[in-house]
Structure 1
Amino acid sequence: MKAIVYQKFGNIDVLQTLEQPKPTIQSDQVLIKVKAFSINPMDWKIRKGEMTLMSGSKFPKHTGTDFAGIVEDIGSSVVGFKKGDEVFGVVKNMMKEGVSAEYVAVPSSLVWKKPSTISFPQAASIPVVGTAALTALQKMGTITSQTSILVNGATGGFGMFLLQLLKQRGAHVTAVTSTAGAAIAKKWGANSIIDYTKENVLSQKATYDIVIDLSGKMGYQKARQLMNAKALFLNPTPKPIEIPLALFKNLFTAKKHIVILSSPSTTYTDVLLGAVKNGLQIEVSKVFPFDQYKEAYQYAQQGGYIGKVAIELN
């Protein structure tokens, strides 16, 4: 089978396609013929060597975490799936595994039936950012119509889920996005917009109960000036050193730095599937064919697009 791999850390040019054996499955696994997989920022953070404490330095490495496809085979202890089922899921360890191949073998506990109302690229866009959005909601605690929330970088994949889920909870949300993203941020549930192409979010006088930085460009120190006295700063893209530092510094300040670490599970996915059934929108801004994977990662890393980016296989 064809697979996208890399033999050393680096930029997009280290990616290459190789012929590899089709995976063999264990008793608790499902073999999936991959139809699509989505791109997440963690893909290039790992590839660039920014997460080596967790990813290790053993090569070759694959890329990609969440996927959608068709069941090709099931292990002897697997129940609830059969050959031909349309499914989506994630790898068990995103730091050391990947789905960028024609076939992938994963535990059946990390595979779910794909709703017939959405496409393979849409389904492949659910697990990672959807779970992160639900985890962020849990970290926010009790949310009411009086809760003021600033979402920086609001119209990517994470923001797509978060804005719609926050709207269901009645929060007052200010979305920081581009001119091109303003209309869809409003559609997803933002009450007001700050257009970063016209205004520096840090220059405004308003403060918030919760600031969440989905762009990874603001950071806790800058965000402090936008935070109320006992506000939360949520960080879904922490550098490894920030995880212990945040815990330590939170002992001495009322303005808390909360790191978001999430892992897809059936509990989260059931909530997300319910939200999709009730009308939650999944926007895939661009779908690239498999042989244009370098262009796909280049496009995704540049940012500025709406929703998610996916790679599709025949």
Structure 2
Amino acid sequence: MRKVMYNQFGDESVLELIEQAVPSIQDDQLLIRVKAVSINPLDWKIYGGAMKLMSGTTFPKSVGIDFSGVVEQAGITVSRFKTGDAIIGLLDVFKGGALADYIVVKETDIAPKPTNLSFEEAAALPVTGLSALQIIDQLAKVGANQDVLINGATGGIGVFAVQIAKKRGARVTAVVSTKGVAEAKRWGADTVIDYTRQDSKLLGQTFDAVIDLSTKLSFTEAKNLMKRKAIFVSTLPSPLTLLHSFINNLFSGQKLTILILKPTVDGFNTLTHLAEAGLQIVLDKTYSFTNVREAYREARQGKLIGKSVIVLD
């Protein structure tokens, strides 16, 4: 079988498509035939060496976090899935390994594929969808009649964060590029700010929650956009930011929280229900397995709306 691996940190040139034997499974595991894998910013941060503290420095390493596929084989103690089931799944975010023809998972790593989604659409759901759910429901605690600012609203997480925040009854202000204005309005944002024409830091309005998905708005800058009791959500889980969060939150009503994705079965179930109820999935581009380097190179340029997906032929 084919698998993407790398033996040193670097840019997309370190990614290699190699041949390996199809892995065997234990009694509590499943063998998945992978159909599609989504691209996440965390991927290139890891193979680029920016996350060494979390990912480690032992090689070789694998790529790919979330995926869709079909159960090829199920261990004898597996109870929730059987051969032939269409699934979505999520591997350890710092180890990856989904970019392969076959992968081995446990039941807790996967969920049934929403019936109304293609395999390509379904692969785009787990990491960003679960992240958006965790941000909106747990970190920002978004509720009815709250004012929420989402900076970087047309990225993978933003697509879902806007929609879920609206479902929770919030008033959503989305900050996007010119290319994303119409899309953000289509997802339900009440106000859309084109950052190329207006500085979102000078809005003259304060919010109950400020969610930065662009990684370009600091907590210090965001304070002017926050009410006296408000929450700022960052997606950069660095040790320094975690320490800053702990100290700040002891004394300030303006809280700093950091997304550290924690997938759960309940989260998967909620996401599946949302998808089957019409949650919009946005695919910017799909790539073949043989074009992995091109796929990551283009995604890393950051000009996409929604997600890009690698399809395994």
TM-score bucket of the superposed structures, by smaller chain:
over 0.9
Query: Any idea what the Cα deviations from partners look like across 1:251-291, whole Å, max 9, x if unmatched?
Result: 23221111121222210011011111111111111111111
Q: Which residue type is aligned with residue 86 of structure 1? A: A
Is residue 142–residue 209 contact of structure 2 (8 Å, CA) maintained in 1? no
Counterpart residue number, 2:297: 298
Partner residue, 1:276:
275
Q: Which amino acid in 2 is paired with 1:273? A: T
Distance 1:142 1:165, change over 3 A: closer
SS in 2 for 1:96: coil
**Matched residue SS, 2:178:** coil
Q: Distance in 2 between matches of 1:223 and 1:51?
A: 25
Structure 2 counterpart of 1:90: 90
Residue 43 of structure 2 is matched in structure 1 by 43
Q: 1: CA distance between counterparts of 2:63 and 2:161?
A: 25
Structure 1 segments unaligned to the other structure (5+ residues): none
The answer to whether residue 236 in structure 2 is matched with residue 208 in structure 1 is no
User: In percent, how many aligned pairs have the same letter?
Assistant: 43
CA distance in 2, matches of 1:40, 1:142: 24
Distance 2:110 2:39 in 1: 18
CA RMSD across the alignment: 1.3
Tell whether the 8 Å contact from 2:46 to 2:94 is kept in structure 1 after alignment: yes
Does the aligned pair in 2 maintain the 1:8–1:60 contact within 8 Å?
yes
Match of 1:182 in 2: 181
The correspondence of residues 90-239 of structure 1 with structure 2, limited to 5 A, is 90-91=90-91, 93-137=92-136, 138-141=138-141, 143-145=143-145, 147-239=146-238
Q: Residues of 1 paired with 2:43 and 2:113: CA distance?
A: 23
Which runs of at least 4 in structure 1 moved beyond 4 Å after TM superposition?
none
For 1:298 and 1:37, the matched residues in 2 are separated by 16
TM-score by length of 2: 0.96
User: What is the identity, as a one-letter code, of the residue corresponding to 2:36?
Assistant: A
1:4 maps to which residue?
4
What whole-Å deviation, never above 9, does each CA across 1:22-74 have from its counterpart, x for those lacking one? Answer: 11112111101111000111111111222212211111111111111111111
AA aligned opposite 2:240 = I
Cα distance in 2 between the residues matched to 1:65 and 1:264: 12
CA contact 2:8–2:59 (8 Å) conserved in 1: yes
Q: Secondary structure at the match of 2:153?
A: coil
Q: Deviations over 1:95-145 (max 9, x none)?
A: 123211111101122112212321111111111111111111222225122
Unaligned runs of 5+ in 2: none
Instruction: Quote the offset at 1:249 in angstroms.
Output: 2.1
- Which residue of the partner structure matches residue 69 of structure 1? 69
Give the distance between the partners of 2:93 and 2:258, measured in 1 at CA. 18
Cα distance in 2 between the residues matched to 1:112 and 1:257: 31
Report the Cα distance in structure 2 between the residues aligned to 1:79 and 1:200, rounded to whole angstroms: 53
Structure 1 CA distance for aligned equivalents of residues 152 and 287 of structure 2: 23
Secondary structure at 1:297's aligned position in 2? helix
Report the counterpart of residue 80 of structure 2 in structure 1. 80
Q: Distance in 2 between matches of 1:69 and 1:80?
A: 15
Say whether the 8 Å CA contact 2:73–2:82 is kept in structure 1.
yes
